Chain A
């Protein structure tokens, strides 16, 4: 059990930032992102600690899948209404270089809003490939598509994002 905890602790450290960001970009609320993210890891831990032998073969896939499901559930409950406006949501917690942050944030906010408007598959493929730096093969695995189909999806997603930005 102590060993399991150690392994999970490593998984937590490795993925907490990514999963949080993944959820945050979809819900655009720090509060909701924190709630859903901790729920994601709690469920993963429960599953992980109950399993015998090799509890979860692919923790990354399991975490993203759990996070996706929780985000979907969240929107289903809220009737797709966003709890907090994107405009008022800080990207990160207050830091010392607030000024530098302010300069960038308007630009980033625009792209964040645009990304949030995309359909789920487009969001996911962009986050996994460009933000998480996952290789196409892994992205394909997460999407349960072929690598070729994933490349096509990525191309379309980027195009859709450009269109969104043009509109805004």
Chain B
């Protein structure tokens, strides 16, 4: 005869009755699974705001990544779009500076391509550079050196010369850059340089006119005026410096 304690012990052994694990998982998935799967796909359970933020993040990432692309690359048009968008916010007075910087950037890209021998990117890079140089030349030629800040004008001239110099270096690497645009830039920068000289000279003459001068000095001043009228600005300046 089985005792109560033994009976209870045996009953407790019935606890080992268990469903198979596979069935448990399967059944759970059948009841909750389908909806759970939907839950796991991105965006659907993310709040729309988060999805928007993520989308912007990805877009921003592409734009940021595109900034290091080179002409002929897949993302290069995005870089151009970014630059164009930035150009919208550039004021008329800042345009020459911006276009010079852009031309410099194009030249750096071109040099990089030439140095790493990326043949397929070379032709588009040259085109981009020439277009940017032409744009810079156009912007520089619009500047009236006589009415502008001489320091700023001087800086433009230096930058233009720097580009010309680097372009020559690129040519020495075997890059075929047409002279036309570079000449335009050179012309514009020469004109600016001259304008700069004229404005300096004009300032000087008007300064001298306001002073009390000796006879000799008066004579020099009138000679300077003559030279300036004849377009001999350098000589006029020289005359002043010699007699200083």
Question: Which A residues have a C-beta under 8 Å from some C-beta of B?
Answer: 1-2, 5, 8-9, 12, 16-17, 20-21, 24-25, 33-34, 37-38, 41-42, 45, 91-93, 104, 107-108, 111-112, 115, 126, 130-131, 158, 161-162, 165-166
| B27 adjacent to A111 (CB under 8 Å) | no
Q: CA separation between A37 and B27, bound complex, in Å?
A: 9
* CB of B89 within 8 Å of the partner chain: no
From the candidates B12, B35, B36, B39, name the one contacting A130 in the complex (CB within 8 A). B12
Which B residues are CB-close (under 8 A) to A45?
31-32
Contact A24 B1 (CB under 8 A): no
Contact indicator B11/A130 (Cβ below 8 Å)? yes
With A158-B4, A162-B2 already in contact, the answer to whether A38 and B18 are too (CB < 8 A) is no
Cβ of A104 and Cβ of B36 under 8 Å apart?
no
Chain B residue numbers with a CB within 8 Å of A17 are 18-19, 24
Give the Cβ gap from B31 to chain A, nearest Cβ, in Å.
5
CB nearest to B16 among chain A residues: A92
Chain B 3-44 residues near chain A, CB threshold 8 A? 4, 7-8, 10-20, 23-24, 27-28, 30-32, 35-36, 39
5 A-B pairs (CB sep. < 8 Å): A34-B19, A92-B17, A111-B14, A126-B11, A131-B12
A156 smallest CB distance to B (angstroms):
13
Decide: A91 near B16, CB < 8 A? Known: A38-B27, A111-B11: yes
The complex places the Cα of A33 from the Cα of B28 at a distance, in Å, of 15
Chief secondary structure at chain A's binding surface: helix
CB distance from B46 to the nearest CB of A (A): 11
- Smallest CB separation, B30 vs chain A (Å): 7
B45 within 8 A of A: yes
Residues of B within 8 A of A (CB): 1-2, 4, 7-8, 10-20, 23-24, 27-28, 30-32, 35-36, 39, 45
A162 vs B7: C-alpha distance when bound (angstroms): 8
Residues of B within 8 A of A91 (CB): 16-17
If A12-B28, A21-B18, A34-B19 touch, does A108 touch B10 (CB 8 Å cutoff)?
yes
Q: A12-B32, A16-B27, A20-B19 are in contact. List 6 more A-B contacts (CB 8 A).
A: A5-B36, A5-B39, A16-B24, A25-B17, A33-B19, A131-B15
Closest 4 CB pairs of A and B: A20-B19, A93-B20, A130-B11, A38-B27
Q: When chains A and B are docked, how far (Å) is the Cα of A88 from the Cα of B1? A: 26
* CA A74 to CA B11, docked complex, whole Å: 25
A162–B36 alpha-carbon span in the complex (Å): 47
Chain A residues closer than 8 Å to B7, beta-carbon distance: 111, 158, 161-162, 165
Query: How far, in angstroms, from A115 to B45 measured CA to CA in the complex?
Result: 48
**How many whole Å from A43's CB to the nearest CB in chain B?**
10
B19 contacts A37, C-beta separation under 8 Å: yes
Contact between chains at A9 and B19 (CB < 8 Å): no
Asked if A131 contacts B14 (CB within 8 A), the reply is yes
